[in-house]
């Protein structure tokens, strides 16, 4: 195989029910984390990792995402007229940052089905999957770390992090043995979608970053509904595992679930504290709350 990872698929067709009422009209991917929609963090991570082509799998009511990554003539023209060059650069920069293709997932049949919708756009090459809810603060970026491992191993790579206790039931869970040379790498032997704690094969939770070989598409076509009655990506990868090697990778960095209200609050505080323009002021404000 030995092909470069050039494309990243962003499943973004979900309804965002965990974030109602904010997501009744606004796509959850467009919710602002400090001052950027959460999907932009994922796109910036992909670009910083060497991805050349972004593929959004969208659905009904997700038009705001397309507008966000496009030129806004009225806005740009007004900013130009008012001499607001710095903000103009920000606005134009978003539109020119990436080559983006869109494909619609017409029915919410599950994450595996969403990835399958990108089959024609990806073609016969390894590709990344980024779940935009999972915002990851990492240096080097999480996907870049994974591409490095992919280039060494030439097999599918799944991001994991340690989650102890019953919280593991909110994730896919990876089974495997630790690589002898690199303790962050797992030789994957199985995975279970959202297991009960007693059934969890390890404490390695699957996080929303994957590098997959294109064979997974044929297997996803044959995957029947699993956990929650949905076509699960985890089940497609499990079928892949019967044919090829798959690796877990415990990335260096911190992940936030920005599709969840509490996770978004945590991310907001931590990302705001890191902002040079107002991080210090925000720290003083938090201290002043005396909590």
d(CA 195, CA 262): 22
DSSP 33-86: ETTEEHHHHHHHHHHHTT--EEEEEE-TT-HHHHHHTS--HHHHHHHHHTT-HH
User: Which of these segments, 25-33, 37-45, 226-234, 271-279, binds ligand G1P (CB under 6 A)?
Assistant: 226-234
Which of 30, 134, 156, 168 touches ligand G1P (CB under 6 A)?
A: 134
Which of 188, 233, 237, 258 touches ligand G1P (CB under 6 A)?
A: 233
8 A C-beta contact, residue 237 and residue 190? no
- Report the length, in residues, of the chain: 291
Closest residue to ligand G1P, based on beta-carbon distance? 172
| Residue 83 CB, nearest approach to ligand G1P (Å) | 43
| Residue 108 CB, nearest approach to ligand G1P (Å) | 11
Residue 207 lies near ligand G1P (rule: CB under 6 A): yes
Q: What is the DSSP letter of 266?
A: H
Maximum distance among all Cα pairs of the chain, rounded to whole angstroms: 63
> Residues in contact with ligand G1P, total (CB under 6 A)?
13
| Residue 209 CB, nearest approach to ligand G1P (Å) | 9
| Residue 173 CB, nearest approach to ligand G1P (Å) | 8
Residue 172 lies near ligand G1P (rule: CB under 6 A): yes
Q: Which is it for the CA torsion 201, 207, 208, 212, positive or negative?
A: negative
Q: Distances from the Cα of 135 to the Cαs of 7, 92, 174, 199, in angstroms? A: 19, 23, 20, 27
| Residue 167 CB, nearest approach to ligand G1P (Å) | 11
- For 247, other C-beta atoms within 10 Å of its C-beta total 24
Q: Distances from the Cα of 47 to the Cαs of 5, 43, 130, in angstroms? A: 12, 6, 12
Which of 171, 186, 210, 256 touches ligand G1P (CB under 6 A)?
A: 171
Task: Pick the closer one to ligand G1P by CB: 234 or 250.
Answer: 234
Residue 205 lies near ligand G1P (rule: CB under 6 A): yes
DSSP 225-262: P-GGGS--HHHHHHHHHTTS-EEEEE-SSEEEETTSHH
| Residue 44 CB, nearest approach to ligand G1P (Å) | 19
User: Which of these segments, 67-75, 182-190, 216-224, 228-236, binds ligand G1P (CB under 6 A)?
Assistant: 228-236
Residue 142 lies near ligand G1P (rule: CB under 6 A): no
User: Which of these segments, 39-47, 48-56, 82-90, 206-214, binds ligand G1P (CB under 6 A)?
Assistant: 206-214
Beta-carbon contacts of 290 under 8 Å, excluding residues fewer than 6 positions away, are none
Residue 131 lies near ligand G1P (rule: CB under 6 A): yes
Nearest CA-CA partner of 3 in 145, 158, 126, 144 = 126
d(CA 219, CA 173): 20
User: Which of these segments, 63-71, 201-209, 212-220, 272-280, binds ligand G1P (CB under 6 A)?
Assistant: 201-209
Residues binding ligand G1P (CB under 6 A): 111, 131, 134, 171-172, 193, 205-208, 232-234
């Amino acid at each position: 195989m030995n092909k470069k990872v050039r494309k990243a698929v962003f499943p973004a067709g979900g309804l965002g029910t965990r974030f109602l009422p904010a997501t009744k009209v606004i796509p959850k991917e467009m919710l602002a984390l400090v001052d950027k929609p959460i999907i932009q963090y994922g796109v910036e991570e992909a670009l910083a990792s060497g991805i050349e082509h972004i593929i959004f799998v969208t659905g009904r009511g997700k038009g705001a995402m397309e507008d966000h990554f496009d030129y806004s003539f009225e806005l740009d023209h007004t900013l130009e007229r008012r001499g607001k060059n710095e903000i103009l650069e920000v606005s134009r920069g978003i539109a020119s940052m990436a080559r983006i293709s869109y494909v619609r997932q017409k029915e919410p049949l599950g994450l595996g089905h969403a990835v399958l919708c990108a089959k024609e756009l990806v073609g016969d090459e390894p590709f990344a999957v980024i779940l935009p809810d999972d915002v990851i603060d990492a240096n080097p970026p999480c996907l870049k770390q994974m591409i490095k491992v992919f280039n060494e191993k030439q097999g599918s790579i799944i991001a994991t992090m340690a989650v102890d206790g019953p919280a593991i039931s909110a994730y896919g869970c990876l089974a495997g043995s630790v690589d002898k040379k690199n303790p962050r790498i797992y030789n994957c032997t199985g995975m279970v979608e959202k297991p009960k704690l007693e059934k969890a094969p390890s404490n390695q939770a699957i996080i929303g970053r994957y590098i997959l070989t294109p064979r997974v598409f044929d297997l996803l076509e044959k995957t029947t509904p699993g956990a929650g009655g949905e076509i699960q990506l985890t089940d497609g990868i499990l079928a892949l595992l019967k044919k090829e090697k798959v690796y877990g990778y415990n990335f260096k960095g911190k992940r936030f679930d920005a599709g969840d209200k509490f996770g978004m609050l945590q991310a907001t505080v931590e990302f705001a504290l890191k902002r040079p323009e107002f991080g210090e002021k925000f720290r003083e404000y938090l201290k002043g709350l005396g909590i």
